[in-house]
Each structure stands twice: as structure tokens, then as C-alpha cells.
Structure 1
Amino acid sequence: MRDKKADILVSGRDLFSSKGFKDTNVSDITKMAGIGVGTFYNYYASKEKLFLELFLEENAKLKRSIMETVDLNDEPLKLIKQLMLLNINGMNSNPILSEWYNRDVFDKVELLYREENGNNNVDFIYGSFSEIIKKWQAEGKMRDDIDCDLIMAFFISLINMDTHKEEIGIQHFPHILDYLADFILKGLTDYKK
């Protein structure tokens, strides 16, 4: 007996990767999977739910890959810059994750995630990185007078800047991102108590 859910996942991944979220519809997915539209809805309430599952899976793979690549004992400035670069490159090279940069898609995915997991639970983006921040705070390598969640929000803001590079000015964007990362990290690591 075929695993219909697996067929839907494979078809969804293939179509979202090749056509994008907007241009993929449920009937395309079911046709490729060799199932009826009604069968799709036995497993997923919408194409957004399927996309969210695939997005979270791809995001988790990227985060695991990044964490296996870096030296967690590096100094904060070096490690955070490396984490950000690997994250941006990984998202840009993965067609499902690159939908992050499509505001309409991301807004739908984020809204769905928040509906299912609550407004305060957005660890699907950077969950394991916060453990590094807490470790540095305990070791005195990073400010401990600023909440870890707020520090993570600084880094998330830097990553999200990539979605606004045209507004910032593409010619300035890489330099602005580097300088802002330096300023934020120095402010979080070079401080007087």
C-alpha cells in the first residue's frame, strides 16, 4: 500500500521548489501524487498547511547543517557573522526557504504558525541559536542585562533586512549589513557593567 501522505509531501516539495508557492495549487499536487483532491484534504486542510510542514522541515535541516558546520567555541562576533552568512546563503539556495523573501508567502506561513503555536513561539526560525546566546551570557561573553529573546530579535532584524535590500539600496546593502552586525555585536559584547 502506498504512503499517500509521503506522495503528497514529495509532490508538494517538487512543485513548490519548481513553481513557487503562489503558482502551485492543490490540483497540481494531487495530479503529480496520483491521488484525488479529496484525499489531499484528508491529510492537509490547505496548501498553506502543506507548505508550512515542508518549510519547517527544510528550515530544521538548514539549522542542523549550520550547527554541524560551525565551531560553537568561536568568539561571538566571528560565530554570529558565520551563522548569519550560512543562514542567508542556505535560505537563498533552497527554493522552499527562499519563499521567506516573498512577503505574501511568509506572512501567510507565519500567521498559520502563530495560530497553531501561539504568538510568542516563533522558534521555528532560530530556536537553537538562543542556547548559544544563553551560554555566552553565562560565560560573560555577552551582555546578561539584556533578555536573550531581545538579543535574538536583534539578529532576526539583521536577517530580515535582506528582504528590504532594494529599499535600502542594493549598492549599499552588503556594507550596511556588515556594519550593523558589527555595531550590534560590539554593543552586546564590548560593554562595561
Structure 2
Amino acid sequence: MPKFNEHEKQHIRELLLNKGKELFVQYGLKKTSIDDIVQACGIAKGSFYRFFPSKEELYYEILRQEEAFTGDIIAELKGLDLPPAQLIEKLFYDSFQAIERSPFLSMVMRGYDWAQLIRKLPPEAMEEHTEADQQLGRELFAKWQKEGKLAPLDPDVITGMLRAVLLLSQHRQELGPLFDDIIVQLIRSIALGISAKPEKAPRS
């Protein structure tokens, strides 16, 4: 088995991630074999296992990288001084746009590969993934509640609302030509509904 220096390891790992993503988007997890991946990368099959124990582990790592957009959006929002409803609206809409821009995430949201991924990955990996998603939303929404920007709802419920909006990205065809307007108005309505309402001044 060939030995790789650190530069070669980094190059091969990036190649596996990039070519793997292309193949998964084109054929799905089930129909993409490790042979397909190594052939696209121009490496030996044995070399694949030096980086990932299975194609599911490769798929999962690609998923983690693609979902990194959430951290970027949250970091941007922290530096903005916007009214609560606009802040929430931007979070929801930017997240929705990120899903629409990513063929890989769009595929994942359709759920085609999810059952196989759950079966093949170690249970602790899936639990960690689910908890990491929840925790990110939980911390942000709890912070906004303390700052008086959000209504006193369960942060996990708000995270679930965000996920429900993201799932709508797969129903563009069913909703027809008004899809974009529907999404904008839906997100705006949610943002207005869950943002903290300013207290009314007492009557004199």
C-alpha cells in the first residue's frame, strides 16, 4: 500500500470529497459504489479505506461540510443591528437559499439516501448530528429570547419550524410559479409571529 505525505493526503481527501459529492448528487448513495468513487479519483480502492471506512462515512462528511453554512449565517447575523422580525426573517430566508443553492443538500432534504445512511452509520454519529443541529438552533434562539428579540417559545420548536421551511424547497413544482412569493410571505409571516412584540406604553 502506497505511503502518502501530508500534502498528498490532503489532496486525496479533498478529491474524495469533491468527486464523491458529484457522484452522490448524480446517482445517489445506493447506486454509487466505492469502485465508482476511486475510479473518478484515479486512486486504488485500498487507498480509499485509509481515509474513510465506508462510502456512508464519506457521504456523512460531505453532509457535514455542506451544512457548515448555518454557522456562517449565524456569525453574520451576530454582527447585524436589525429589528427582531427582520433578523429572524433573514435567518430563515438565507438558510432556505443555501439549501436551494446546494444540489447535495437538496438531495438530502428529499430523503432519498437517509434510510441507508441511518442503517450504515454508527448510531452515535447520527445522534451527534441530530443533537448538533438542535444545539446550534437552541443556543441562538435562547440567546435571542434573553435579548428580548423572540417570543417565549421552546427553542427546539423554532428550530423545527426552520427545518419545516427548508423542507419546502423540494415542493417548488407542486406550488407552481408563485413558489418564490409564497416562500417570502411565509417566512415573513413566521418571523412576525415569533418575534417579540414591543410592550405597549401604559395609558396615562
TM-score (ref. length: structure 2): 0.72
Find the counterpart in structure 1 of residue 202 from structure 2: none
Q: C-alpha offsets along residues 9-63 of structure 1, whole Å, 9 cap, x if unaligned?
A: 3223332343425264311322344432233234323212101112202322x22
In the alignment, what sits opposite 1:14? Answer: 18
Aligned-partner Cα distance in 2 for 1:165–1:114: 34
Number of the residue aligned with 2:49: 41
1:147 aligns with 2:157: no
Between 156-165 and 87-96, report the one with greater CA deviation: 87-96
- Inter-CA distance 114–159: structure 2 relative to 1 (3 Å threshold): farther
Instruction: For CA contacts below 8 A with separation 6 or more, give which structure has more relative contact order.
Output: 2
CA spacing shift, 1:173–1:66, aligned 2, 3 Å: same
1:163 has 2:170 as partner: yes
Tell me whether 1:50 sits opposite 2:58 in the alignment: yes
Report what 1:93 is aligned to: 101
Q: Partners of 1:176 and 1:131 in 2: how far apart?
A: 29
Stretches of structure 1 lacking an aligned partner (at least 5 in a row):
none
Residue in 2 that maps onto 1:79: 87
C-alpha distance in 1 between matches for 2:176 and 2:131:
29
1:26 aligns with 2:26: no
Structure number with larger C-alpha Rg: 2
Looking at structure 2, the residues matched to 151 and 31 of structure 1 have their Cα atoms a distance apart, in angstroms, of: 44
Specify the SS of the correspondent of 2:67: helix
- Indicate if the aligned counterparts of 2:99 and 2:166 stay in contact, CA closer than 8 A: no
Contact 1:11 1:29 in 2 (8 A): no
Distance 1:138 1:165 in 2: 36
Moved more, 67-76 or 111-120: 111-120
Question: Whole-Å Cα distance in 1 between the matches of residues 60 and 126 of structure 2?
Answer: 15
Partner of 1:132: 140
Structure 1-normalised TM-score?
A: 0.76
| Structure 2 spans left out of the alignment, 5+ residues | 200-204
Find the aligned partners of 1:106 and 1:96 in 2 and give their Cα distance.
Answer: 13
